[in-house]
Structure 1
Amino acid sequence: MDTLLSGVQYVLNLGPTVILPIMIFFIALIFRVPAKKALRSAITIGIGFVGINLVISLLSSNLGPAAQQMVERFGLNLTIIDAGWPAAAAASWASPVAAILIPICLVVNLVLIFFKVTKTLDIDIWNYWHFIAAGATGYIVTGGNWWFAILCAIIYEVAVLWMADRTQPMVEEFYGLKGISLPTGSTAAFGFIGIPVGWLIAKIPGIKNIHVDPETIQKRFGIFGEPMMMGLILGIAIGLLAGYDVGAVAQLGMSMGAVMFLMPRMVKILMEGLIPISESAREFMKSRFKGRELYIGLDAALSIGHPANISTGLILVPITLFLAVIIPGNKVLPFGDLATIPFYVSFVVASRKGNILHSVLAGTVVIALALLMATDFGLVHTEMMKGVYEFPKGATQVSTLDMGGNFFNWVILKFSQAWAAIF
C-alpha cells in the first residue's frame, strides 16, 4: 500500500497541467477524435491551465500579503489559521485512504453514468482530492475505519456530481461552456447554499430591482467600468485597507487589473482545446446512446475568468476579514483561501446572471456560514494536517474555508461524529 501511495503521489505531484492533458488525450481517443487533433487539443488545454495557474498565482501572491497586512493593521486575534486549499489538498493526498479512493471514485463515476444517475464524466482527477478529504475526515473521526472512509468519499462524490448536473445548463448559458460541467468540490458545496440564498436576496424589495453587472458598470462609467479598470480600482482599495504606501498600492492595483485582463484570455485558450473534444463526445453519445447526454466535468477555474466572478471575489476579501472579527463564535483567521473566493461564488454569480450586488450579498452570507463551519472543523482538520503543514507561531489549530468551511464536508464531519458516537 505504501508503494502504491508513493506512486500515486508522484503522479499527482505533476499537477493538473500535466495530468489533465494526459486524461484529455486518452478520453479524446475514446470518443474517436483523430490522434493528431486529440494531441493538439490536449496540449492546448494544458497550456491554458498553465496560463490560468500563473494568473491565479499572481492573484494569490498579491492578495496574501495584503490580507496579512490588514490582519496586523486591525489587530485581529483569532486562533485557527486558514491554511489554504493547497495545504488541505496536500494533507488529503498524504492520507492513508488516498491511493485506494482514486480508482474507487473513478469507477463510481462510470457506474453512475451507466445507470443514468449522472451525466457528468469527471475527468478532473486532481480535484478528486475533495472526495479524498471527505474520506480522510471519516477515517480520522472513526479511528481508522476504512469502509466508512470509502462511504464518506462516495457520498461526497455523488453530491458533487448531482450539483454539477443541476448547474450545467446555467454554467453553459452564463459562462458559455457548452457540454461542460464543473464538479469541483468546493464550488459545488458553496453553490448548494449560495444559489438559494441568492434567490432569496433577489426577492427583497428595494434590492431585487438593482442590477449591477460588468456591462452596466462599463456602460455607465466608460473606461473606468472596463474589467481591467475595475481590477485596478479594487486592488487600490484593498491596498489602502492594508495600509500600504502609495507605491505598493499602485503595484497591487496593477496586479489586480492584470488578473481581470488576463484571466478571460487564458480561459479562451483552454476552451480552444476543449471545444473539439466536447463536440466529439456529444456526437459519440448521440450515435451510440440515443437520447443520452454526457457532460465533461472540469475544474471550476474555467469560470473564474468572468469579470463578474473576479469582481465579486475581490470585493468579498475585505468583507471576509470583517466577518471573521464580528461573527460570534468564529475563531478562524482567513488567509490562505482569500484568493480562492472566486471559485466559491462561481455558481452564485451564474445563478444571479452576473449581478455583482446580489452575488456579493449572497457571498457574504455563505462566507459567514463557512467561517463557523471551518471553526467547528478545527480539531479534525488540525489532526489531518499533522506532518504535512508547518504550523505558524501562535496558532493552536488550522482549518480552511475550502475544506473546513465546505458544507458538504461539514455534513460528512457531523455524519462521522454521529457514527463514531453510536458504533
Structure 2
Amino acid sequence: MQILQGSVEFLLSLGAAVFVPVIMIAAGLAVGMRAREALSAGVTLGVAFSGMTMLIGYMTDAITPAAQAMSTTVGVDLPITDGGWTTMSTISWSWPYAFLMFPLVVGINVVLILARQTETFNADLWNVWGKIFTAVAVYSITGNVGLAFVLAAVQTVFELKAGDFHQHRVEAMTGIPGVTITHRMVFIAAPMYLVDCLLRRVPGLDRSFNAADLRNRIGILAENHVLGFILGLLFGVLARFDVAATLTLAVQAATALTLFPVISRYFMQALEPISEAISEFMRARFRDRRLYVGLDWPFLGGSNEIWIAVIWTVPVTLLYSFFLPGNGILPFAGIINICVAVGAFFASRGNIIRMIIQCTIFAPVFLWAGTAFAPFMTELANTTRAVDLAAGQSISNSSIDAPIFTYSLSHLMQVVEGNWLPLGIFLAWLLCFVLYSRSLVRERDQARAEAAAGGAPTVQA
C-alpha cells in the first residue's frame, strides 16, 4: 500500500506538464504508435502545457497588483485568504486517503469504456485532485470515508459523460479532432445553458458574435495584440495606476493575448497524431466505436473569446467581492477565473456578448463557494500542515471549479440534519445538466446527419 501511495504521489508531483505527456506517450505506445512518434507528440504536449502555464502565470503576475490596488482603494477587509487552485490541490493531496482516488478514477473509466457507457478515455488524470477536493468536503461533513469516495465516484462519472456530450462542440469550436474536455469546470455550463436560451431570445444576441466576427466589424481594434493593449489600459485606469504602470500592464496584456493562440497550436500538433492512433486502434477492434481523449482545458487556449471573458471577469469579480452579501474571500490567487469563461464559452457557443453577460451573472457563485469551503480546507491545512497558516487565518479559493455542482454534491448529506438547500441545488443543477446534454446530443446528431447527406454542418449562434 505504501509503495502504491509513494508511486502515485511521485507521478503527480511531476505536475501536469510532465504527468499528462507520460500518460499520453504510454497510451500512444499501447495503441501501436511508433516510439519516436509517441515521444515527439508527448514532448510537444509537455511544451504546450508548460507554455500555457507560463503565460497564465505571467498574466496573473501582471493583473494581481492592479487587483490589489483596487481593493486598497476601496478599503475592504475580507478574512479568507485566496490560495488559488494550486494551494487547494496541495491541501487536497495531503488528505490521508488521497492516493486511493487515483486507482478508483482509472477503474471507473475502464469499466465504463468496456460497458460501452462512455466513449471518453480520460488522460487528465493529474486533475484527480478535483475528486479528492470533493471527498475532503464530504468527509469533513460526514466523517464517512466510504461515502466520500462514493460521491467522488459520482463526480467521475459525470465528468466522463460531460466529455462524451461536449466532444462534437469541442471539435467544432477548436478544430482539434478526437479530443474532448473532462475537467469539471464545464459543469457550470449546464445552468448557463438555460440563461443562454433566454439571452438568445433578445434581439441582437441571437446571432454569431465571436472573435472573428468582432475583427470583421471593428478591424484592427479586435486584433489580439491591440485588443489586449486596450483591455490592459482600461484595467490600469480602474486600478488608478500612473501612466507608466498603466502602459506596462497594457503591453503585458497584449503580449498574453498574442501568445495564447500560438501556444494553443502546439496542443493541436501534439494531440492530433495521438487521437488518430487511438481512433484507429478502436476501429480495428470495435468497428462501431471511436474513443476520444479527455483533457484539461489548456488546449482551448487558442480561443480568444475565453481570454476576453477572463479579463472582463477580473474587475467584475473584485467589485462583487467588495459588496456581495455572504462573501468572505478577497480574490487574488484565483483572480484569473478560467472556469467561468470556459463554461460560458461552451454554453454561449463562443458568442462574446453572451459570454460576458454569463460571466457577470455567475461570478458571485464562485465567491460564495469559496467562502463555503473555507472551513474544510482550513481545517485540513492545519491538521496536515500542508500549508503554513497564521493563527486564526482561513484559506480557500475564489475560483473553485464547478462551484454549484461541487458545493451541492459535497454538502448533499446535510439533508439528514434538516438542511435541504444542497439537495435542492443539486437537483436543479441535474435538471440543467440533462437539458444541456440533450442540446449537445441534438447538435452532434444533426451535424452527423448533414455530413452523411453531404451538406455543410449548420453553424449556430
Query: Under a length normalisation based on structure 2, what TM-score does the superposition of the two structures give?
Result: 0.85
Tell me the CA shift for residue 419 of structure 1.
Answer: 5.8
- 2:286 pairs with one of 286, 289, 295: 289
Tell me the CA shift for residue 405 of structure 1.
Answer: 6.4
Counterparts of 1:9-408 in structure 2, within 5 Å, are 9-143=9-143, 145-185=144-184, 187-203=185-201, 205-206=202-203, 208-209=205-206, 212-339=209-336, 341-386=337-382, 387-391=385-389, 396-403=393-400, 406-408=403-405
The 1:286–1:313 alpha-carbon spacing in structure 2 relative to 1, beyond 3 Å, is: same
The 1:193–1:374 alpha-carbon spacing in structure 2 relative to 1, beyond 3 Å, is: farther
Instruction: Write the letter of the residue equivalent to 1:182.
Output: I
Tell me the CA shift for residue 233 of structure 1.
Answer: 1.0
Tell me the CA shift for residue 336 of structure 1.
Answer: 1.5
Q: Secondary structure at the match of 1:230?
A: helix
Contact 1:369–1:405 at 8 Å: present in 2 too?
no
Contact 2:341–2:359 at 8 Å: present in 1 too?
yes
Instruction: Write the letter of the residue equivalent to 1:321.
Output: L
Q: Secondary structure at the match of 2:293?
A: strand
Tell me the CA shift for residue 200 of structure 1.
Answer: 2.4
Cα deviations by residue, 1:287-321 (Å, 9 ceiling, x for unpaired) = 21121121101111111321111001101110111
Q: Secondary structure at the match of 1:338?
A: coil
Q: Secondary structure at the match of 1:333?
A: coil
Q: Secondary structure at the match of 2:287?
A: coil
Q: Secondary structure at the match of 1:332?
A: coil
Q: Which whole-Å CA distance do the structure 2 matches of 1:179 and 1:342 have between them?
A: 23
Q: Secondary structure at the match of 2:411?
A: helix
The 1:3–1:284 alpha-carbon spacing in structure 2 relative to 1, beyond 3 Å, is: closer
Cα deviations by residue, 1:147-204 (Å, 9 ceiling, x for unpaired) = 112112101111222222211111111112211111112x22322332332232222x
Contact 1:404–1:410 at 8 Å: present in 2 too?
no
Q: Which whole-Å CA distance do the structure 2 matches of 1:2 and 1:322 have between them?
A: 47
Contact 1:180–1:295 at 8 Å: present in 2 too?
yes
The 1:372–1:347 alpha-carbon spacing in structure 2 relative to 1, beyond 3 Å, is: closer
Looking at both structures, which has the greater relative contact order when contacts are Cα pairs under 8 Å and sequence separation is at least 6?
Answer: 1
Cα deviations by residue, 1:44-98 (Å, 9 ceiling, x for unpaired) = 1111111111111111211222211111122122222322111111111111121
Cα deviations by residue, 1:199-226 (Å, 9 ceiling, x for unpaired) = 32222x3452465432232223222210
Q: Which whole-Å CA distance do the structure 2 matches of 1:381 and 1:417 have between them?
A: 18
Instruction: Write the letter of the residue equivalent to 1:168.
Output: Q
Instruction: Write the letter of the residue equivalent to 2:246.
Output: V
Q: Secondary structure at the match of 1:296?
A: strand
Contact 1:304–1:346 at 8 Å: present in 2 too?
no
Q: Secondary structure at the match of 1:129?
A: helix
Q: Secondary structure at the match of 1:377?
A: helix
Q: Which whole-Å CA distance do the structure 2 matches of 1:304 and 1:273 have between them?
A: 14
Q: Which whole-Å CA distance do the structure 2 matches of 1:193 and 1:175 have between them?
A: 23
The count of residues paired between Structure 1 and Structure 2 equals 417
Contact 1:301–1:343 at 8 Å: present in 2 too?
no
Cα deviations by residue, 1:222-255 (Å, 9 ceiling, x for unpaired) = 2221012111111111122112111111111111
Q: Which whole-Å CA distance do the structure 1 matches of 2:389 and 2:307 have between them?
A: 30
Gap regions ≥5 residues in structure 1: none
The 1:420–1:28 alpha-carbon spacing in structure 2 relative to 1, beyond 3 Å, is: farther
Tell me the CA shift for residue 36 of structure 1.
Answer: 1.4
Contact 1:260–1:305 at 8 Å: present in 2 too?
no
Q: Secondary structure at the match of 1:337?
A: coil
Q: Which whole-Å CA distance do the structure 2 matches of 1:342 and 1:404 have between them?
A: 9
Cα deviations by residue, 1:364-416 (Å, 9 ceiling, x for unpaired) = 222122222322222223223332234479x7432213437622210222214
Gap regions ≥5 residues in structure 2: 420-461
The 1:96–1:402 alpha-carbon spacing in structure 2 relative to 1, beyond 3 Å, is: farther
Q: Secondary structure at the match of 1:229?
A: helix
Tell me the CA shift for residue 3 of structure 1.
Answer: 5.9
Question: Share of identical aligned residues, percent?
Answer: 28
Q: Which whole-Å CA distance do the structure 2 matches of 1:119 and 1:402 have between them?
A: 29
Q: Secondary structure at the match of 1:359?
A: helix
Instruction: Write the letter of the residue equivalent to 1:173.
Output: A
- 1:411 pairs with one of 387, 404, 408: 408
